[in-house]
Amino acid sequence: MIKKLLVLFLGNRILADDRIGLVLGEMLKPKLESEGHEVQVLEKTGFSLIDYLENQQEAVIIDSVKTGLHEVGEIVTIKPEDLHQYAPFTTHYVGIPEALKMMTQLDLHPPEQVHILGIEVEDPYTISEQMSHRLEEKLNRLSEEIHARISYVARHVSRTDRTPGKERTQVPLRRKRALHR
């Protein structure tokens, strides 16, 4: 069974640069959906993401991060097991590792792979409907780069049999196609 790649764009519309995930999601949603991906643009976090993540083979999460270690507009790849290191830098990562763990414990079929792309921002805390100039001027480049990274993940998604009651098995894409010829 082919599962669509789930792409979650997270953010907060009333906080300056924290809205970057939402803005990029709105820019990319039509293109990504036309390519067959499931796309959600959300102002949610942690446990509230369980309903979206359940029964997904792979998910990509895009959100802001402010570490001060990267240039504004730089995309940082974050592993789910490393999210605790980023918790002080964003509110949206709080609870994601716990949500994934709970999903496993309750047999809610969490994604086998979760790819997190954090976008370094300048000001995610100020209440404002405007992004910082430094981030806004990088929107087109960010949109292209995020799309390229999502496309890369989508090309490398393997198929998974998730039939209820069956053991999960992964079959590489080429191998599975060969079996159906």
Q: What is the pLDDT of residue 95?
A: 67
DSSP string, 151-166: HHHHHTPPEEE--TTS
d(C-alpha 5, C-alpha 32), whole Å: 10
Which letter does DSSP use for residue 4 in this model? P
d(C-alpha 107, C-alpha 8), whole Å: 22
Structural domain boundaries in the chain: 6-179
pLDDT in tens, the chain (181 residues): 345 799 999 999 999 999 999 999 999 999 999 999 999 999 987 788 899 999 999 999 999 988 888 999 999 998 887 776 765 555 555 567 778 888 989 999 999 899 999 999 999 889 998 999 999 999 999 999 999 999 999 988 744 444 444 333 333 333 333 333 3
CB under 8 Å to 156, separation ≥6 — which residues? none
Instruction: Report yes or no: 134 and 12 within 8 Å, Cβ to Cβ.
Output: no
Q: Could you tell me the pTM of the whole model?
A: 0.80
Q: What is the pLDDT of residue 87?
A: 57
d(C-alpha 167, C-alpha 165), whole Å: 7
Neighbours of 48 (CB within 10 A): 12
CB under 8 Å to 96, separation ≥6 — which residues? 45, 46, 49, 61, 80, 83, 114, 116
d(C-alpha 24, C-alpha 41), whole Å: 9
Instruction: Report yes or no: 50 and 108 within 8 Å, Cβ to Cβ.
Output: yes
- CATH label, 6-179, candidates 3.40.30.10, 3.40.50.720, 1.20.120.1760, 3.40.50.1450: 3.40.50.1450
Q: What is the pLDDT of residue 90?
A: 54
At residue 84, the 3 state secondary structure works out as helix
- Angle, CA of 81, 111 and 172, to the nearest 5°: 105
